Amino acid sequence: MQPRGGYHRTTVLLLLRTAWSAACAVVLVVSGVAWSTVSTISTGVERSYAIPDDAPRSESGRNILIMGLTTRLDLHGDPLPDDVLRRMQAGESDRGGYNANTLILLRIPDSGPAIAMSVPRDNLVPLSSGGEGKIKEAYGRAKIVEEDRLRAAGTHDRRALERAGREAGRRAQVRTVSAFLDQPVDHLVEISLIGFFHIAEGLGGVDVCLRRPAKDPLSGADFPAGPQHLDAGQALSFVRQRHGLPNGDLDRTRRQQAFLSAVAKRLEGADVTAVQAMVDMAKQDVVLDARFDLVEFARNIPAEVRFDTLPIEGGAHLGGLDVNKVDQEEVRAKVAELASAPPPPPPNDGVPCVD
C-alpha cells in the first residue's frame, strides 16, 4: 500500500496535468481523499444537473468540459469582498458577466495519454438556444432567458433565480460545445475567476517565465521579461491578459497552460498545510456535474495529459464584434485526430517561457 502522503501527492500531481485552472479545482477537491471521507467531499462541492441522465455518452473513454467563467461574483451571485476584488485586480463585481471565456474539452481515453483541447472563446457557432454567437456566450444568454422566464412566472427570490439561471447556462454551454465539436460531454467542471485566484493564493504564488516584458492596464499585467515569481493577484493578471500579446487570445491560452505547469511545479515542493488550504478554497468555487465520481476519476486518470488548441480560420469583424471564423468540419476533424493521436509531449525543461 502506498503511504498516505504519497498517494495524496501523486493524485494531486497527476490531476494537475489535466487542464489549467478549472482542472486544478477538480484536483484539489479530489486530493482531499487523503484526509477525509468521500461523503465529506461530496457534500462540500456544488453539484449540477445540467447533463441529464439520458444525454449521449462516450462509447469509450470520457469527455470532460471545463468552463472558466468571467463573473466576479461567488457561486450564489453575491459580490466578492472588496479586499479580495482589490487583490484580484479584475475590476468591480459587476464586470465580466457570465461568458465562458475558458473552454477546454478534456478527452480521457481508456488507455494512453489524455488530450486537453482548448476551444477559442470567440468562435462564431450555432448556439443551442438558436441563432449564432460566440461560443463563450451560450452560458450567459441562456441564463438571462431563464431568469426572465421565471420572473414572468412569479419567481423573485434572487438566489433561486441565480441558481436556476446558472443551471440553464450550463445546459446551454454543454449542448453548444457538444454540437459544435460533434462530441458527447460526459462531465462538466465550472469555476470562476475567484477560483483561479484561490489556487494561486493557496500555494503562495507561482513561478512563470516571459519572453518579453508585458504591460496591460486592462488586466493589471505589468511584468518584466524572464523568470519571476507571481503572487495570486499577479498570476490572475498573467492568465487574463490578451491585449498587447502577438496572437491575442491564442497566446492567452498558452499562458493558461503555462500557469498549470507552474502550479504543478509549485505543488512538488508544497507542504500538506498549503495543499489542504487549496482543497478548502476549491470547495467554495468549483461546480461539478452530479454524476462526477471524484474518487474514480482520481484513480483512473492517465499519468500524461497533452495540450492543443483547436483551429480557427482568422478574425472577422461582424456587428462591431471581433469573432473567429471557423470551418466546423475542419474543427471536428481536428478533434477526432487529437483524440486518436495526441501531440508529442513538450520537452521537460522546467517552467516554459511564453509571450
The answer to whether residue 355 sits within a structural domain is: no
User: What pLDDT is stored for residue 232 in this prediction?
Assistant: 87
How far is residue 259's CA from residue 252's CA, in Å, rounded to a whole number? 10
Q: Does residue 177 have a pLDDT over 80?
A: yes
Q: What CATH number is attached to the domain comprising 18?
A: 3.40.630.190
User: What pLDDT is stored for residue 181 in this prediction?
Assistant: 96
- Type of residue numbered 104: I
The answer to whether residue 352 sits within a structural domain is: no
Q: Does residue 173 have a pLDDT over 80?
A: yes
The answer to whether residue 26 sits within a structural domain is: yes
Q: Grid coordinates representing 115?
A: 488530450
Structural domain that includes position 265: 4-341
The answer to whether residue 220 sits within a structural domain is: yes
- The residue behind cell 469583424 is 317
The answer to whether residue 347 sits within a structural domain is: no
Q: Which of 258, 252, 192 is nearest to 221 (CA)?
A: 252
Q: Which residues in 73-91 are b (16+ Cβ under 10 Å) and which e?
A: bbbebeebeeebbebbbbe
Average pLDDT score, the chain:
78
Range of lowest pLDDT (2-11, 48-57, 251-260): 2-11
The answer to whether residue 83 sits within a structural domain is: yes
Range of lowest pLDDT (105-114, 225-234, 266-275): 266-275
How far is residue 186's CA from residue 177's CA, in Å, rounded to a whole number? 12
* pLDDT-derived band at 333, boundaries 50, 70, 90: very high
Query: Which strands sit side by side in the sheet containing 46-48, from one edge to the other?
Result: 46-48, 286-289, 187-192, 62-69, 100-108, 114-118, 305-309
Q: How many domains does the chain divide into?
A: 1
Q: Which of 243, 160, 251 is nearest to 210 (CA)?
A: 251
The answer to whether residue 353 sits within a structural domain is: no
What is the 8-class DSSP label of residue 225? S
* pLDDT-derived band at 218, boundaries 50, 70, 90: confident
Strand partners, 126: 132
Contact 119, 22 (CB under 8 A): no
Alpha helices in the chain (DSSP H): 4-16, 21-31, 38-44, 82-88, 138-152, 158-181, 193-202, 232-240, 249-268, 272-285, 294-300, 328-340
The answer to whether residue 348 sits within a structural domain is: no
Q: Grid coordinates representing 165?
A: 439561471
